[in-house]
Structure 1
C-alpha cells in the first residue's frame, strides 16, 4: 500500500518523455489537395501549394505520431477527421507531403521526409521516386540509382555550372547517352543559395514510358527576407 504513490511518481515522468514538439512544414501533392482545409492543432494550415512548402507549424509528437485535422471532413460525431502523421525517429525537420487517398476517412495520406538544412544541404538536389520502378539518374558526371518507394537520394552538382540531367533505366546509364533509351532529359544549374526537392512522377502521356519531374526549390535568401519581415 505504501509503495503505490511512489510507483505512480516514477511512471508519470517516463510517460512525459514520449512527447515532443516539432516544426512541421507541408507540401500539397496537387492543386486539389492544396484547396483542402486542414489544421495543425488549433492553427489552420495556410499556403498549401504543389510547388512550395508552407511555413513552420508547431505540433506535438507523442509516441512518434502527431495529429492533423481535416476540417472539411467530419466523423460520425460531426467532428473534424483526424489524420495521424507518423514521424520516423531521428527526423529533425519533417516535411509532410500530403497525397490524395480518396478511400481514407480524411481523403489524404501523409508521407514524411527529412527536410532539415543539415540533411538537404544548400546547393544540393534530393530526388524521391514515386514510380514503381528503379531509375538511374545522372547529373553531369555524378550518377546514382534511385529506388522506388520514396527513398531519398541526394546529388551535389557543381555550383554555378549548367550540366545535363538524364533519367533512364539503371543499366542504360552505363552506356553512351542515347536519346531513345532515356525516360527524361534536361539540364540542371545548381546555385549555392538554393536547394531542391525533385519528385519523380509518371509521365502524363500514357503512350510513352516517360516520367516527369516536380521540382520544389527553396532559396535561403528569400527565407532570410521573410524572417526579417516578421521581426
Structure 2
C-alpha cells in the first residue's frame, strides 16, 4: 500500500492546469517593427500583429507544453528556403514575458531576441523600470532618493509613490555625482508604468545619454 501516496500525487499533478505564460513583443526601433516576424513553438505559428517601438504588442498565449519557442524572420530565408529562426531563451520562473527584438548586425537574421519579466507583480503600476544600455554605470535620482543602474539588460525599478504629479529627475555618471548628465520633469501617475531604456545619445551635442520611454496605462474598468 506504500504506492498509494505516490499514485495520489501523480493524479493530482495530472489534474493541475497547464498555465503557460503570456508574451508580448516590443521592437527596438521602426526598422525592426517593419520586419516580417512571427512567434513559433512546435508546429504552431503565432501572428504577432501590429508592432511599434513605443508600445507592447497584443498578448500571445504560450502554453506550458510549448517546445522550441523561437522567432521566425520571414523576410530572410535560409539555404533550405525557410524563414531564418531566432531561438528564444525563457528565464526560469517567468510569469509574463516581454520579448525585446533588438537589431543585430552579426546575425544572419539581422535581429536577436531578449525576454524579460513584465508581470505587474514585479513591475507594478506607478513604477519606473530602468535599463542601462550605455557602457558606464549611472545614478538615477528622483525626489530625495537615488539608485545606481549598472550597464546591461538587468532592469532596476523605482517606485516614487504618492499622488500623480510632476517628478523632477536627474541622471549622473556614477563616478561624477556633482554634475548631472541630464535633468528634466517626468510625469508620475499611479495608473501608469514606464519602461525606460538609457542608450548612448545619437546627438552628443544634446548629451551623452538619451532615453527610450515605453509607457503603459492601466485601463480602468467602468462601474456598471
TM range (shorter): 0.7 to 0.9
Structure that is richer in helix per residue: 1
Render the CA deviation track for 1:208-229: whole Å, top value 9, x for unaligned.
652011110101117x69xxxx
User: What is the CA-CA distance between 1:60 and the residue it aligns to?
Assistant: 5.2
1:59 aligns with 2:42: no
Matched-pair contact (CA < 8 Å) for 1:64–1:86: no
Q: Corresponding residue for 2:20?
A: 21
Q: 2:85 aligns with which of 78, 82, 86?
A: 82
For 2:151 and 2:81, how far apart are their aligned partners in 1? 38
Relative distance call for 1:198 and 1:65 in structure 2 (3 A) is farther
Q: Corresponding residue for 1:122?
A: 125
Bigger mean CA deviation after superposition, 107-116 or 27-36: 107-116
Q: Give the count of matched residue pairs.
A: 200
Render the CA deviation track for 1:15-73: whole Å, top value 9, x for unaligned.
xxxx9832211111011000011111322211211110001112357799621111111
SS of equivalent residue, structure 1 residue 86: coil
Q: Corresponding residue for 1:166?
A: 170
Structure 2, unaligned stretches of length 5 or more?
1-17
User: What is the CA-CA distance between 1:119 and the residue it aligns to?
Assistant: 0.9
For 2:140 and 2:67, how far apart are their aligned partners in 1? 33
SS of equivalent residue, structure 1 residue 33: helix
Matched-pair contact (CA < 8 Å) for 2:182–2:207: no
Structure 1, unaligned stretches of length 5 or more?
1-18, 176-180, 226-231
CA RMSD of aligned residues (A): 2.2
Q: TM-score, normalised by structure 2?
A: 0.82
Q: Corresponding residue for 1:34?
A: 33
User: What is the CA-CA distance between 1:85 and the residue it aligns to?
Assistant: 0.7
Q: TM-score, normalised by structure 1?
A: 0.79
Q: Corresponding residue for 2:109?
A: 106
Alignment of 1:184-199 (within 5 A): 184-199=182-197
